[in-house]
Structure 1
Amino acid sequence: MTQNVARVADPRIAEVFAIARDTLHRRWLTLALVALAVLVAGTAFVMTLPPKYAATTRVRIDPSRNPLATRSADGRAELTTEAIETEVSAIRALPVALEVVQKLGLDNDPEFAGTLKNAGAAARTNTTARQTAIANGVLGHLDVAREKLTYLIDVKFTSSSGQKSAAIADAFASTYIERRLTGKASTAERQSEWFSRRLAELAVETREADQRVAEFRGANGITESSAANSGSGTVLDQQVAPLASSLSLAESEAAGARSALNAAQGQMQRGGIGSVAAVLSSEVVTQLRAQRALVVQNMAEVQARYGDRHPETLRVREQLAGIDAQIQAEARRVVSSLQANAAAAGARAESLKSSLSNIETQRARDARNSVLAESLEREAAAKRAQYDRMSQLSLDSMQAARVSLAPAEIVDNAEPPAGPTSPNRPLLLVLTLIVALAAGTVTIAVQEALSGGLTSVEDIEREYGLPVVAAVPKVGKTENPADLMLDEPTSFYAEALRIGRAAVMGVRAGSAPQVVALTSALPAEGKSTTALAFARTLAIAGSKTILVECDVRRAVMQNMTRSPRPKVGIVEVLHGDASVDEAIMTGDVPNLDVLLQPTRFFSSENLFGEHAMDALMRDLRGRYEHIVLDLPPLLGLADGRFLAILADATIVVVKWNDTSRGAVSSAINFLRTDGSRPVGIMLSMVDPASASAGALNYYSNKYSDYYQNYRS
């Protein structure tokens, strides 16, 4: 499978190289001119670049002396990447550059005076503004960078003088160190003064914080231990547990009493007060009921003995009523007792709940006061810690003010370079050459993309469905291509027309078309020249041939042939003003006659669409073996379409790498729609060295021994 893919890909790669070679051959002059122009301009620019000298001073940063340093796990001072980049920016700071300018007097140096042109009028009249503008210009020549992951910083300065570049690089390094040292001492002194003022303020704030803590504790009765423990273990806490237990018991008893009372009230509603369980279980009620039972028994005997109205019976009844009254009174007392018990239990529970709530409120207030006390204590402690820290910083600052050690040092002073470091002219010249070739290549590529012409036989045949019958090479501008048939009969051009004749007429004369029309999509495609050469080719091959010029609006054929100038032409014949014999003239090769148009003819009439042209063609068919018609272009003119349907075969002449695809497509569609018989495409003015013609590349160098080469 891999081998098959390679076989398919190889021809495509070859086609790409062939297209590139053809494009280069056609447009080599454009490539050469563009590349030469860019090369000359680039070379001139490179050669005029002034030499530059770069000198480098190396500075080492000491982390132990840098205020931006941090401490590692083992206690060593370290600088982060951000801290080192801060030092790099400090070296490139404008104040450092201003000091260097003032030290070395660079504001009068011609090399940097050019920066004043864009600095405004103030830089020319004000010394400070002038030095600032010069300093900005000097910074444009400065390059400061860290060496990999070390604490070394390279201070490189580029100038037109090696001595100057070294001096300025050293000046930047030394000025940076001096400013850092001076700034460090000045900063330490200012810090010391600020620390002293701040310490006095903190002392007052610390005393005030301690006083607020003491006053708050005294006002709220908070001791240090209770504040520290947040109120745990106090008398209030000891009272909470018993009260909570008593409240739980009281609430349980109150609930039981309310339940008994509710039950009694329900029983009274259903069966009266005598049905209440508490009443029934009362000993007094039980005794009274026993007495009542005896009285009821006695009353029954008395009634039976004495009757209802006897005094004894009345007495017993009164006794029974008295016992019932006692039972009712006792029942009411029992129910009242239940009500009293329920009310007492509820009141006791509410009392305990109120007491517990008061204790909880007091505990919450004490807790808040304790928290506030702790907050005040922490604030006071923070003030004391801040005072201690500030005191230590003040001590360190005073020590730093007395120490004069620089946070950086120069490791290597800059040395004047032996030769210029830039520009690298050999490299720039090579790059200029590459850019020049690239510019030329891009130019011809754009020209090729914008041309839109046809160059490949395979593309033409695949797109239009017509074979390419011949590829006629381009000849010199001062020569008439059709005359090569006479002057150079063995040239590439003549052989191309013979190949076209073989393709259209075939190798057997019996099947050849008699009337062959040559047309094109647009003017100036070499159609008339090709028609004349094609007619000469047929005549030279021994066929009696006539060339009929139908492109009467141009009438250029008389200037191409070597025949005498005609007096009448096809227009006069079609109008009936002259006979065919009067218009036909002998051509410039044996077996060739021509019917030309002496003058240009313009008319809105349908000259070729009437029966006169049909009659003329019938007459000529009877006289000649082959008739070659030179038709007008098909796009923009109607004459060619009327004439093409009279031909047995129509050849479309296409200018190689010039005629647009759309124009060719429209012309061929016209012929097919009208019922004409297009048999092929003939490429005109093909580059002789191009390989785009594929199999028709008979004029390539491989065939140089077969032809007498025509040299334009």
Structure 2
Amino acid sequence: MEIRREADEYEARLADVVSVVRDTVRRRWLTLLAVTGVVMVLGFIVVSQMTPKYDATAKIRLDPGRNPLSGSQQPTSATLSDDAIATELTEARSLEVARGIVHSQDLLSDPEFNGVLAKATNATVTNTDTRETIVANELLQHVTVTREKDAYVLDMTVRSIDPIKAARLANSFAKAYIDYRTGKNVGTARQQTAWYQQQLSDLNHDATQAETHAAEYRARAGILEAGADGSGGGTIVDQQIAPLAGMLSSAQSDAATANTNLAEAQAQVARGDFANVSSVLTSPVIQTLRNQRSQLLLAQGEVEKRYGDLHPESIRVRDQVTAVDTQIKAEANRILGSLRATAAASQARVGSLRKSLDELELQRERSVEASAAADGLQHEADAKQALYDKMSQMSLDSMQAADSKMALAEVVVSAEPPAKPVAPNKPLLYALSLIVALLAGAATITALEKLSSGFRSVEDLEQQLGLRVLAVVPKVAKSENPGELMLDRPTSMFAESFRIARTAILGARTDTDVKVIAFTSALPAEGKTTSAVAFARTLAIANARVLLLECDVRRAAVREIVRSNAPKVGLVELLHGEISLDEAIKPGDVPNLDQILVVSPYFSGENLFGEGRMEQLLNAVRDRYDYIVLDLPPLMGLADGRYLAVFADATALVVKWSSTPISAATSAAGWLRSDGSKPVGVIYTQVDPSAHSVGGLYYYSKQYSDYYQR
């Protein structure tokens, strides 16, 4: 339920806003149309005068693999970081590139770009370089360089009023950028080459010194330099130890063999088996002697068999066998002694070699520190030599780059003259001009509404003045005369509003004691006189005897409204006593209506209505008429209105819709109360007939259009 009530309140508020907007537009549609039209025409003129501009784009592909500074060390799949590409974007719009374009394309004489020179002082633009710099900065305002997404492609766009010039400048910019980057790379390479040469000289000196120092230290420490295959390195002691250790091992093996042979021989001798000693058996001398002994034994057997044991020949042969045995034994003893000598010699050699090896080991321990120091010196020398070799290669690459004209980029798409301009977007600007014009018109009428100090609604009027609204009188067209409207169209909205006022003032039964009814306003031109005449006619048409008494002597405007002939005498003459009452009363333009008018505007400092003259006049006419309608002067700035309102039985305050200042109307209502007058309400005049803001009086809306005479 609560939600439904909030929704209804929101819809009501929205409806009020829509009504206010609609009413404002209806009231001020001419202003809205005029302002909108003027602004729209101005906007269309400005847009139509705009110079079309064309964009031409040249595409440049960056190729990091073609970088001449990268040398032979560059990988085959080179890449550029986002920061590097951002740098290229900046350099593509560099002032140096733009200056080259200004010079090559003679933009100093191009009106599109040299206009900026007129804004500079004469002292500034006398120098040619300075002039080119100024025009180059202006040119850069027409150039944009962007990167195509995820690609090494730069879009170089130049905007110009001439499509052919835009394409020419775009292509020139692309070529100038590539030449600039190439020249910059070559210049950098030459600088690097000079730097490398200086560094190489220093490194060569350092590497030579380090190698010399290492060689001298190795020589002093007895450290041998390794060969190209890595062999032969170490100290002299290291190289002596290895063969000496081998010799010791071999000597120990020989000594062990000699000792073994000697021990076996001694053991066989101790067993009496001298002949089976291995060394004896293998001796060639022993073998020869054994062969001789075998032959002698054969001969001895034959001799003894032939001659007997005692034969001299048998004795000689036996002696020869004995001699050979003696030789064999002597040779065996000599071999045995040789074994002993060999074993002793082998043992002595082992001892000698061991002693030498021990001495070398001691020397080796002392040379470890020297060897480590030598290795350190050699490593330092090798590192300097490697650095020298690397920098030598880099220097070679830099020298090659200095002589190379290879560019980092290439033009892949040349700029072509565009067929259509990119700016201004005239259809869009025309639409925006229309929107701006509508906004300007809306702002104007909104400002006029805000600046208006009058009342806009019945609610505001009644709340501010504390008086009820008797009737709402619609505004008539400028082609219509409201004074004639009552007579020509008695059933119109205008005539009906005064019948409503009659009912509001006199009551529905018209049996009140109200006879004198005054109409006044706070300021002139509020519709007071027209309302008084229309109200008097309304009463007369309703068969009441009515007297219209014009009291606004300084304007004397009633004679211009009514259809009767202009009188020759009137109220001023009557109050001066120059004519009688009957002479002053003239018939009106409707039956039952009489009128006492002012012949012409009357200006005087006298108190025309004082000294009882006005009271006497009203007393004289009260019995002759049912109603007396007074057209009083405005209350502000004049004294007569406040003075005469006191004599009326009811006073209606006329307030013009959206015009009468609130302060003026409030003051007027306050004066009527303080003076003892009887203000009964407000006649709300010249209200927009289509405005619903008049409160609950919706009889002026379209729903009631069939009730009134058109």
Taking structure 1 as the reference length, the TM-score comes to 0.67
Per the alignment, in what secondary structure is the counterpart of residue 692 of structure 2? Answer: coil
Contact map agreement 1:470 1:696 (CA 8 A) in 2: no
Corresponding position: 1:668 with 2:665: no
Instruction: Give the C-alpha shift of residue 688 in structure 1.
Output: 2.7
Instruction: Note the alpha carbon deviations across 1:486-518, whole angstroms, 9 max, x for none.
Output: 222222221222222222222111136222111
Q: Are residue 49 (structure 1) and residue 59 (structure 2) matched?
A: no
Is 1:455 the counterpart of 2:456? The answer is yes
Instruction: Judge conservation of contact 1:467–1:680 (CA < 8 Å) in 2.
Output: yes
Which residue does 2:39 correspond to in 1?
Answer: 38
* 2:521 matches 1:520: yes
Partner residue of 1:19? 20
Indicate the SS of the match to 1:29.
helix
1:235-289 per-residue CA deviation (whole Å, 9 max, x = no partner) reads xxxxxxxxxxxxxxxxxxxxxxxxxxxxxxxxxxxxxxxxxxxxxxxxxxxxxxx
Counterpart check, 1:183 vs 2:184? yes
| Aligned residue identity for 2:160 | S
The alignment partner of 2:686 has SS state of: strand
Deviations 1:626-674 (A, max 9, x none): 1111111112222211222222221111112211222111111222222
Q: Secondary structure at the match of 1:704?
A: helix
Shift of 1:92: 1.8
CA distance in 2, matches of 1:30, 1:63: 66
The residue type equivalent to 1:6 in the other structure is: A
Q: Which residue of 1 is the match for residue 158 of structure 2?
A: 157
Query: Root-mean-square deviation (CA), in Å?
Result: 3.7
Q: Does 1:506 align with 2:523?
A: no
Deviation string 1:330-379 (CA, Å, 9 cap, x unpaired) is xxxxxxxxxxxxxxxxxxxxxxxxxxxxxxxxxxxxxxxxxxxxxxxxxx
Equivalent residue for 1:693? 694
- Secondary structure at 2:552's aligned position in 1? coil
In 2 relative to 1, CA 669–61 (structure 1 residues): closer, same or farther, beyond 3 Å?
farther
CA shift, 1:522, in A, is 0.7
Amino acid at match of 1:25: R
Confirm or deny that 1:193 pairs with 2:184: no
Tell me the SS of whatever aligns to 2:553.
coil
Contact 2:186 2:401 in 1 (8 A): yes
**In structure 2, how many angstroms separate the alpha carbons of the residues matched to 1:60 and 1:2?**
65
Q: Does 1:538 align with 2:570?
A: no
Paired residues for 1:142-153 under 5 Å: 142-148=143-149, 151-153=152-154
Partner-residue secondary structure (3-state), 1:629: strand
Structure 2: distance between partners of 1:389 and 1:682: 108
SS in 2 for 1:509: coil
For 1:209-220, list aligned pairs within 5 A.
none
Q: Say if 1:75 and 1:655 are closer, same or farther in 2 by CA, change over 3 A.
A: farther
State percent identity of aligned pairs.
52
* Offset of residue 192 of structure 1: 4.1
Task: Mark the CA change 1:149 to 1:628 in structure 2 (over 3 Å): closer, same or farther.
Answer: farther
For 1:176 and 1:694, the matched residues in 2 are separated by 75
For 2:542, give the aligned amino acid. A
8 Å CA contact 2:68, 2:404 repeated in 1? no
Secondary structure at 1:705's aligned position in 2? helix
Match of 2:243 in 1: none
Residues 81 and 540 (structure 1), Cα distance of their counterparts in 2 relative to 1, 3 Å cut: farther
1:240-255 equivalent positions in 2, closer than 5 A: none
Change (3 A) 1:564 1:407: same
SS of the aligned residue for 2:706 comes to: coil
Deviation at 1:20, TM superposition (A): 1.1
- Looking at structure 1, the residues matched to 69 and 521 of structure 2 have their Cα atoms a distance apart, in angstroms, of 84
Deviation at 1:174, TM superposition (A): 1.9
- Cα distance in structure 2, aligned partners of 1:510 and 1:410: 104
**CA separation of 1:573/1:387 partners in 2, compared to 1, >3 Å: closer, same or farther?**
farther
Kindly state the Cα deviation for residue 541 of structure 1 after the two structures are TM-superposed. Answer: 0.8
Give, in angstroms, the shift of residue 526 of structure 1: 1.2
Query: Which residue identity does 2:139 align to in structure 1?
Result: V
Q: 1:149 to 1:119 in 2, by over 3 A?
A: farther
Preserved contact between residue 584 and residue 595 of structure 1 (Cα < 8 Å): yes
2:630 is aligned to 629
Residue 539 (structure 1) shift: 0.7
| Residues 60 and 408 in structure 1, CA contact (< 8 A), matched pair in contact too | yes
Partners of 1:474 and 1:684 within 8 A in 2? yes
Name the residue aligned to 1:565.
Answer: 566
Tell me the distance in 2 between the aligned counterparts of 1:611 and 1:133.
Answer: 92
Q: Give the structure 2 partner of residue 681 of structure 1.
A: 682
The answer to whether structure 1 residue 556 and structure 2 residue 552 are counterparts is no
- 2:391 and 2:558 map into 1 onto residues whose CA distance is 111
Deviation at 1:393, TM superposition (A): 8.6
Alpha-carbon distance change, 571 to 193 in structure 1, aligned in 2, over 3 angstroms:
same
Question: Counterpart of 1:644?
Answer: 645
For 1:402 and 1:577, how far apart are their aligned partners in 2? 126
- Tell whether the 8 Å contact from 1:504 to 1:512 is kept in structure 2 after alignment: no
Residue 10 in 1 paired to residue 24 in 2? no
**Contact conserved, 2:69 with 2:398, CA < 8 A, in 1?**
no
2:147 partner amino acid: R
User: CA 1:470 to 1:199, structure 2 compared with 1: closer, same or farther past 3 Å?
Assistant: farther
| Distance apart, 1:585 and its partner CA | 1.8
Question: In terms of mean alpha carbon deviation, does 2-11 or 505-514 score higher?
Answer: 505-514
Deviation at 1:55, TM superposition (A): 1.5
Partner of 1:210: none
**Contact persistence 2:142–2:160 (CA under 8 A):** yes
Partner of 1:468: 469
State how far apart, in whole Å, the 2-side matches of 1:394 and 1:505 are.
118
The range that moved more, 106-115 or 85-94, is: 106-115
Question: Which residue in the other structure is 2:271 paired with?
Answer: none
How far, CA to CA, are the matches of 2:576 and 2:446 in structure 1?
Answer: 52
Unaligned segments of structure 2, at least 5 residues: 208-386
Instruction: Give the letter aligned to residue 550 of structure 1.
Output: C
Alignment of 1:537-616 (within 5 A): 537-608=538-609, 610-616=611-617
Q: Distance in 2 between matches of 1:546 and 1:82?
A: 98
The yes-or-no answer on 1:412 pairing with 2:413 is: yes
User: 2:331 — aligned with what?
Assistant: none
SS in 2 for 1:37: helix
The whole-number CA distance in structure 2 between the counterparts of 1:605 and 1:66 is 110
Structure 2 CA distance, aligned partners of 1:148 and 1:159?
25
Letter in 2 for 1:514: K
Rate the CA distance shift 1:21–1:104 in 2: closer, same or farther, 3 A. Answer: same
SS in structure 1 at match of 2:99: helix
Contact 1:123 1:129 in 2 (8 A): yes
Letter in 2 for 1:434: I
- Cα–Cα, structure 1 residues 85 and 464, in superposed 2: closer, same or farther, change >3 Å? farther
Note if contact 2:54-2:422 (Cα within 8 Å) is conserved in structure 1.
Answer: yes
SS at match of 1:144: strand
Paired amino acid for 2:626 = E
The answer for the alignment partner of 2:434 in structure 1 is 433
* Contact 1:189/1:398, CA 8 A, preserved across alignment: yes
Counterpart-to-counterpart distance in 1, 2:48 and 2:26:
32
- In structure 2, the partner of 1:654 is 655
Once the two structures are superposed, residues 605-646 of structure 1 have per-residue CA deviations (whole angstroms, 9 ceiling, x without a partner) of 444454332232222322221111111111222221122222
**Residue 44 of structure 1: CA displacement?**
2.5
Gaps of 5+ in 1: 207-385
Count of aligned positions = 530
Deviation at 1:405, TM superposition (A): 4.3
Question: Residue 104 of structure 2 aligns to a residue in which SS?
Answer: helix
Aligned AA (2:627): H
CA distance in 1 between counterparts of 2:67 and 2:444 reads 59
TM-score (norm 2): 0.67
| 1:435-465 superposed Cα distances (whole Å, 9 cap, x missing partner) | 1211111111112211222222222223333
Contact 1:567 1:583 in 2 (8 A): no
C-alpha distance in structure 2 between counterparts of 1:696 and 1:85, whole Å: 72
* Alignment partners' CA distance in 2, 1:388 and 1:576: 138
Work out the CA distance in 2 between the residues paired with 1:689 and 1:205: 105
